[in-house]
Chains A and B, each alone.
Chain A
Amino acid sequence: MTIADNDIIAEIRRQPEQGFRLLMRKYREPVYWHIRRLVVTHADAQDAAQEAFVRIFKSMASYRGNTSFAAWIYRIATNEALRLISKRHDNVDMEREGTNILDQMPADNYINIADTEAVNMQRAILALPPKQQVVFNMRFYDEMEYVDIADATDSSVAAVKTNYHLAKEKVKKAIIN
């Protein structure tokens, strides 16, 4: 049974450590995989996910409830992933077609290069501009509502829908080719 976000927030206010453990139990895997799809390597995803949760803990007092709790958490996680990518490339242009990091990565123990279908799918997503990657991943993998994606990416719902449609068409085209 999944605990409701409101109950987690109430528990954090009552007993911060115990409450935050409840938050982590619910969000540690979705947050990690969201970051992992963006940064690719396990080591980077681990660093960014851990840093994201520390930031979430420190920022708890600033959560006002005017967006969904999930959107707020994904926003912090996305920022952490993009910060890491930004460090890696010095400067990330959110609207520019990204270079494909998966092609530059040596296979490690946590990337199965032999799964060509899955690798090609990730290659197609990683070729998108970072903002389209974020929107596509949140909608396609995490099945988030457009309004939550809009809150998490500081965009309008219309912009999110457009970005998702564009991203989906590009990925589909890349997979077919």
Chain B
Amino acid sequence: MPNIAVCYKWVADEADIIVNADLSVNMDRATGKISDYDKNAIEAGVQLKKALLGTLYGVTFSADSGRPSLKDALSRGLDAAVWVHGTLAADADEYVTCRAIAAGLAKLEDVGVIVCGDGSSDNYARQLPSRLGAALDIPVITAVSHFAIEDGKLLVTRKLEDDEEVYLVDLPVVISVLPEACAAPVPGLKSVMAAGKKPVIEVDADAIADRLEAKSKAVSIKGYEMKRKNIRLTGESEEDIVEQLFLALDKEGVF
């Protein structure tokens, strides 16, 4: 019975982020939440567990302040969680995140499917599945819109811009699922209460820090402002005005 691991990220709730008048970003009042796309990934894990009958793990990497993510994620159907945490998370880039998640996965045995969300809802880099696949030397299937287990293999549909591709892939495999692959249900209140009793394996990220050094660093983060152009179109007739509108839109590069 292969196990399933779902990677999820604890991100700042964008609803709480304030862009100041000087376009600096104030995240002081931002509370945490599970990245929206990762809720779909967790539900995908729940569905896969029904077919594979293994244990469903959540694996996450965060600062110590990410502890509340554990109960939240566990309430959504995970059996157990692996929490890689430490100060390292504060400035982690995708390279560090991948290595930290891989360290967490190393605590698990016989993982058949590693599920990721389509991208994190904070920076949406979408790098984790490919990096994990490379690090673990296993296949990666992204943009999965449908999945099923058939004869111990994973049958997946990739939904791309112009076509759909179907693959049958051996386990173990890393997949990233689109939100449409499975809607994320709201967990019941009793699941929330029971979540605190589920096991959590902790991994000290700082203990593996000597192997991890961020390759990229955010220099600045600024909001942007949509400004009105304040262009008034006038003309002799409605046709004139419509023509001017098309010309103005063309000038802006809309077409």
On whether the two chains bind one another, the answer is no
Q: Which A residues form the contact surface with B (CB < 8 A)?
A: none
